[in-house]
Amino acid sequence: MFPLDYPNSAVTEHEDLSSVCNLNSDFHFAIYIRRDIFDLDEISKIVNISHEFHHIFQYIKDKRSYLFGCIVRYFLNDIIPEVRSPVEYDAERKSKIVAYKTYGRKKVDEWIDSNANKTRHIFFEVFRDINVDIYYDLTAEVLRLWKEHEIEDEIARLRILEKHDDDEKRIIEMYEYAIRKCSN
């Protein structure tokens, strides 16, 4: 999920989606859900859809944490797996809560264990370890990583370079977008 005008959104990369969104200029967000999600079991659908909807809540509740959290995720992608980045972890935590409330802890935990053993994907390892009973402070975690990795300084360094690769351009665009949106 991204605001439609966000530099790193799926809309900017998919012409068909972009044209649909442009026809409906009253759209503010787009949730991109792959078709194969609907071929999955019910718990997978709930987890995926509630995860994406939670990104909208993150943006509405605290635009600054969401937007700068997206920069943290993109910036630290080689260091921190995406599923452990603050914005994603928070959405995973909320989707686990929704799944628990919908199907019960026992059934969801069995689903997690079954998928973790079958796929060995890091998502299920992280998802299994999420303790929904412990408060997660998205803002504090984004700020901690921002400072720890000196992202502000790194962006300042990137901005003075004459040439940028695609990743560097995207980081600068994301940062300028966040500054613009958070100053309103």
Give the separation between CA 173 and CA 6, rounded to whole angstroms.
9
Residue 113, strand partner residues = none
pLDDT at 156 over 60: yes
How large is the average pLDDT for residues 146-171?
92
The per-residue pLDDT for range 93-115, each reduced to its tens digit, is: 999 999 999 999 999 999 999 99
Amino acid identity of residue 19, one-letter, is S
pTM: 0.86
